[in-house]
Amino acid sequence: MSATVAIVLAAPLLGAAGALPEAGACAGAGTALTTLGEALDGRQWTEADGLLRTLSASHGTCGRVVLGRARLRAARGEAAEAESLFAEAAGLASDDPQVHARFAEFWLSRGQPARADYHSALALSLAPDCSHALVVKARLLAGRGRVGEAREALEQAVRADPSNPEAHYQLGVWSFRVKQRAEAARCFEKAAALRPADARALDYLALSLEALGEAEAAESAYRRALAVNDGPFIDSLLDHNYGRFLLKQNRLQESRKHLDRAVELLPGSRTVHYERGKLNLAARDYAAARVDAERALRLRDPDGLVLDVQVYYLLATVYARLGETELARKYAELSRKTPIPERD
């Protein structure tokens, strides 16, 4: 995908098992903390920064305020400062499951699964239905190949907090990967309803509907995604996915606009060059198709979205159109002899 990718800093500040602290260092800050959570959820960093300046002045030792500062630093890529602030928040509010859940999300985003596991487990020991901690747990389980347990954790996260868009999004990703397209579409629709600016969820929704044969609904979802793809949840594969969709419908001119942009955005991606090569072949621009196909051949594709055999077949066809007989024969032979790996 696209959608290929999870955004852990975008989940709401509040949720099930995440009631705002109303006493001690956080007394009187409830409304402001709710507004802060909404700003962080929407990736409205300027607004969040202003709120945090005010809250830090009035409630500087409130764990949720320090947590907000940590999330903002993490969003800005200031990992060391964020880590320090997450640790400070955990020290100030050691019994707050949301603080530990957010710390777990941070460690997961930093490629530290052991630390993420520790803090998610701590959050769940304090509140077994902490939705955000359950999402982290599910992602960790999936990474260990325990996909059934991952599914159960995601379903529990959705039940615990139906307003958590990340829980719906991650359940959708899980369902999409195991080819449960109808279930995936329902999850992504819910995620997009809760987070309308999430181009990733809408792109996945379009892909799911497309796989279900619902072309008109898929195109509507693609267009909805494009309308918000300059917002806080950008999807770098959206132009590729929509361009590929248009190519399948033989809408070549419309497809070119999006596939050209996809190549600009992801020049090192095999799949975007492969799709544009197919487009140029369909448009009978064989020289351009050759350039894209040869570029696709040189690029690695660790995700297996475009197999070597697919590139070989494209090259064989392009070379044949160009009259390059020996090259056409070479790649036709490779396309016949290259085994197709089994997919999960």
Mean pLDDT of 234-238: 96
Each residue of 306-327: pLDDT tens digit? 999 999 999 999 999 999 999 9
- Quick check: 160 pLDDT over 70? yes
Residue 204: the pLDDT is: 98
- Quick check: 245 pLDDT over 50? yes
233 forms bridges with which residues in the sheet? 198
Cα 157–Cα 163–Cα 169 angle in degrees, nearest 5: 60
Mean pLDDT of 174-186: 96
Cα separation of 302 and 304, whole Å?
Answer: 5
Residue 3: the pLDDT is: 37
Residue 20: the pLDDT is: 59
Name, in order, each residue with C-beta under 8 angstroms of 268's C-beta and a sequence gap of 6 or more: 299
Each residue of 52-96: pLDDT tens digit? 999 999 999 999 999 999 999 999 999 999 999 999 999 999 999
Cβ neighbours around 322 below 10 Å, total: 14
- Quick check: 253 pLDDT over 60? yes
The model carries a pTM of 0.87
Cα separation of 243 and 118, whole Å?
Answer: 42
Cβ neighbours around 24 below 10 Å, total: 12
Residue 39: the pLDDT is: 87
Residue 22: the pLDDT is: 57
Mean pLDDT of 6-25: 47
Each residue of 292-301: pLDDT tens digit? 999 999 999 9
Confidence of residue 332 (pLDDT cuts 50, 70, 90): very high
Which domains can be identified in the chain, with CATH numbers?
Answer: 259-344 (1.25.40.10)
In 3D space, the residue among 132, 168, 172 whose CA is nearest the CA of residue 13 turns out to be 132
